């Protein structure tokens, strides 16, 4: 059996195909023209046998498939253990496979390189690739759509690198494991891109276009970077993902779903043109930088979001300009706001700020939390479905909550207590001469007898009464005046205690 007389370019020189010829032909089974292959009766099973022979051969050049055109034939390598005496590349260059390249369940112990190829469909479900896999300058899939690449539950021990490639259909890497790099550069995916539950060491998508959406729900990665990516339906779905570091810098308008995701570090950027909106509902956010100012902060939705190392202090000005509201969102949220959810939102934010020592921010979120709690009490008090006892309890809690906000801002606004104390002192000072008056020395001081000068003695008496000093040199005459003085003493003692408590909280912060 003589060697194949097909010649092709390789590494800058011309090389003869090292495979034996097919029976009665001058070329091997791979380099026969499609019509010659049909006449010779070469089947997909024959091609599979030829690949097995190539793997067993001593010549590594036999593992290079160059300038091959397979029409109306699949290349079925499913369940093969693709091994050999060396770790040379298994190369597909200038190859056209109009059918399916099937690696389902295969174990591939050679690096795979696909260059300038056209493949109708690539299937690698449950396949194991122990060395790197590279695809560059190729077209995979057909204009008819469907899955161009499917590698569900496949494993890549090294890396999967794709560059300058177009997938005419979808890409499905559900539950894939990639221990090293997943690199996708200058690539277009015309169909749906499905990467649910992908586990990868480092994933990098640069200048990549997902024309029909991109789903990475439940994905885990040490580093995931989306640089200058475009998504056809404007939605990058990272729901439930876990990322030690995440970087998103879209090329244009984008909605990034990070619902229930965990992002330990990274950066969420805005594009040069358009708006990127990030939904962080129920997510856990660590040391993540967000690209915003006071006007664009509502492009990030924090709702029931947990914080684990987020640097609140870097955004004090933004928070202040937005009245310390962090849940407001520029788009219609998928999950509408609920009073209970808003209360939890600011509880989580308060705890997150406290954990990083940002007491000022924590105090502002604490106030927001209790105000939304008051709304919850009001809703329960009005709720006809609740038992009467529950509604009464909620109403009492609503009153108490509002009272604490009014007099001290829940212990965070000592100035409110001071202003209320001043109002009580002045109000009582104005009231005493209007009753039966005050006894000051040998005189009874009223507005009738002393005019506005009565306010001086009354103000003095009001101050010592509020402070519960009880000097006794001035005292009210009538019953009403005595009751006002007693009430002022009680209120004074209460407000003094509240003021000391609130001031202590502020000082310790």
The domain spanning residue 472 has which CATH number? Answer: 1.10.287.70
**What average pLDDT does this structure show over 61-83?**
90
Alpha helices (H) in 445-509, listed in sequence order? 447-450, 454-466, 479-508
- Is residue 485 a part of any domain in this protein? yes
Residues whose CB falls within 8 Å of the CB of residue 447, separated by 6 or more in sequence, listed in order: 433, 434, 454
Q: How confident is the model at residue 142 (pLDDT cuts 50, 70, 90)?
A: confident
- Is residue 296 a part of any domain in this protein? no
* pLDDT per residue as tens digits for the range 410-443: 888 889 999 999 999 999 998 988 888 888 877 8
Closest among 502, 488, 506, 504 to 407, alpha carbons compared: 502
- Is residue 480 a part of any domain in this protein? yes
Three-state secondary structure call for residue 113: strand
**What average pLDDT does this structure show over 450-465?**
84
Highest mean pLDDT among 78-92, 293-307, 460-474: 293-307
364, burial (CB in 10 Å: exposed 0-12, middle 13-18, buried 19+): buried
DSSP character at residue 221: E
- Is residue 449 a part of any domain in this protein? yes
Q: How confident is the model at residue 507 (pLDDT cuts 50, 70, 90)?
A: low
Q: Give the Cα-Cα-Cα angle 305, 306, 312 (nearest 5 degrees).
A: 95
Reading the block at residue 215, the tokens are 């789903």
pLDDT of residue 508: 64
- Is residue 323 a part of any domain in this protein? no
In the predicted model, is pLDDT for residue 453 greater than 80?
Answer: no
Supply the angle between the helices 388-408 and 479-508 in degrees, to the nearest 10: 80
Q: How confident is the model at residue 325 (pLDDT cuts 50, 70, 90)?
A: very high
pLDDT of residue 11: 67
Q: What's the domain count of the chain?
A: 2
- Is residue 209 a part of any domain in this protein? no
Residues whose CB falls within 8 Å of the CB of residue 342, separated by 6 or more in sequence, listed in order: 303, 327, 372, 375
Q: Select from 63, 80, 102 the last residue of a domain.
A: 63
For residue 72, what are the CA distances in angstroms to 43, 99, 117? 10, 6, 16
- Is residue 216 a part of any domain in this protein? no
d(CA 282, CA 258): 8
The share of the chain scoring above pLDDT 90, in percent, equals: 70
In the predicted model, is pLDDT for residue 340 greater than 90?
Answer: yes
Q: Select from 12, 38, 63 the last residue of a domain.
A: 63
d(CA 229, CA 306): 27
Q: How confident is the model at residue 276 (pLDDT cuts 50, 70, 90)?
A: very high
- The DSSP H or E segment spanning 410 is none
**What average pLDDT does this structure show over 158-163?**
97
DSSP character at residue 20: B
Supply the angle between the helices 479-508 and 454-466 in degrees, to the nearest 10: 60
pTM (two decimals) = 0.86
85: left (phi over 0), alpha (psi -120 to 50) or beta: alpha
Rounded to 5 degrees, what are φ and ψ at 350? -60, -45
In the predicted model, is pLDDT for residue 367 greater than 90?
Answer: yes
**What average pLDDT does this structure show over 487-494?**
92
**What average pLDDT does this structure show over 442-454?**
78
Q: How confident is the model at residue 1 (pLDDT cuts 50, 70, 90)?
A: low
In the predicted model, is pLDDT for residue 2 greater than 80?
Answer: no
Q: Select from 63, 88, 113 the last residue of a domain.
A: 63
**What average pLDDT does this structure show over 136-147?**
86
Instruction: Please state whether beta strands 220-227 and 199-206 pair in parallel, antiparallel, or not at all (unpaired).
Output: parallel
pLDDT of residue 36: 87
**What average pLDDT does this structure show over 334-345?**
92
Start-to-end CA span in the chain (Å)? 89
Supply the angle between the helices 414-431 and 454-466 in degrees, to the nearest 10: 130
Residues whose CB falls within 8 Å of the CB of residue 175, separated by 6 or more in sequence, listed in order: 152, 153, 196, 197, 198, 199
pLDDT of residue 315: 95
pLDDT of residue 305: 97
Enclosing domain of residue 425: 414-508
Give the mean pLDDT of the chain.
Answer: 91
pLDDT of residue 469: 79
**What average pLDDT does this structure show over 136-148?**
86
**What average pLDDT does this structure show over 295-310?**
96
- Is residue 492 a part of any domain in this protein? yes
pLDDT of residue 509: 61
pLDDT of residue 160: 97
pLDDT of residue 425: 93
């Amino acid at each position: 059996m003589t060697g194949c007389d097909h010649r092709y370019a390789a590494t800058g020189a011309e090389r003869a195909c090292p495979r034996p010829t097919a029976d009665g032909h001058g070329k091997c089974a791979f380099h026969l023209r499609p019509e010659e292959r049909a006449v010779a009766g070469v089947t997909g099973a024959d091609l599979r046998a030829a690949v097995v022979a190539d793997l067993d051969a001593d010549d590594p050049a036999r593992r290079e498939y160059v300038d091959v055109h397979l029409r109306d034939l699949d290349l079925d390598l499913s369940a093969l253990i693709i091994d050999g005496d060396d770790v040379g590349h298994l190369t597909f260059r200038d190859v056209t496979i109009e059918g399916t390249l099937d690696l389902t369940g295969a174990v591939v112990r050679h690096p795979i390189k696909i260059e300038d190829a056209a493949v109708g469909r690539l299937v690698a479900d449950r396949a194991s690739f122990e060395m790197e896999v590279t695809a560059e300058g190729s077209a995979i899939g057909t204009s008819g759509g469907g899955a161009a690449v499917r590698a569900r539950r496949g494993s890549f021990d090294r890396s999967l690198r794709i560059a300058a490639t177009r997938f005419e259909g979808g890409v499905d890497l559900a539950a894939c494991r990639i221990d090293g790099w997943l690199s996708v550069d200058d690539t277009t995916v015309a169909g749906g891109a499905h990467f649910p539950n992908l586990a990868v060491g480092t994933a990098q998508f640069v200048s990549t276009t997902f024309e029909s959406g991109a789903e990475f729900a439940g994905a885990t990665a040490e580093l995931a970077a989306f640089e200058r990516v475009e998504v056809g339906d404007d939605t990058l779905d990272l729901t439930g993902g876990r990322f030690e570091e995440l970087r998103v810098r879209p090329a244009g308008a984008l909605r990034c779903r990070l619902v229930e995701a965990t992002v330990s570090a990274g950066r969420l950027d805005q594009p040069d043109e358009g708006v990127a909106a990030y939904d962080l509902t129920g997510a856990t956010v660590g040391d993540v930088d967000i690209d915003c100012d006071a006007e664009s902060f509502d492009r990030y939705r924090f709702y029931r979001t947990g914080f684990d190392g987020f640097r609140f202090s870097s955004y004090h000005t933004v928070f202040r300009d937005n009245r310390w509201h962090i849940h407001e969102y520029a788009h219609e949220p998928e999950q509408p706001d609920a009073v209970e959810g808003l209360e939890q939102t600011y509880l989580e934010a308060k705890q997150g700020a406290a954990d990083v020592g940002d007491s000022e921010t924590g105090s502002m979120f604490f106030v927001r939390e209790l105000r939304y709690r008051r709304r919850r009490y009001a809703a329960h008090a009005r709720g006809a479905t609740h038992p009467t006892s529950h509604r009464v309890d909620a109403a009492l809690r609503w009153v108490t909550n509002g009272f604490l906000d009014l007099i001290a801002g829940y212990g965070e606004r000592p100035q409110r207590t001071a202003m209320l104390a001043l109002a009580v002192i002045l109000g009582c000072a104005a009231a005493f001469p209007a009753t039966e008056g005050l006894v000051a020395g040998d005189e009874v001081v009223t507005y009738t007898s002393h005019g506005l000068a009565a306010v001086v003695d009354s103000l003095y008496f009001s101050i010592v009464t509020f402070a519960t000093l009880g000097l006794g040199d001035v005292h009210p005459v009538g019953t009403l005046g005595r009751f006002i003085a007693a009430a002022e003493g009680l209120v004074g003692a209460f407000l003094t205690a509240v003021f000391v408590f609130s001031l202590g909280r502020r000082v310790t912060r």
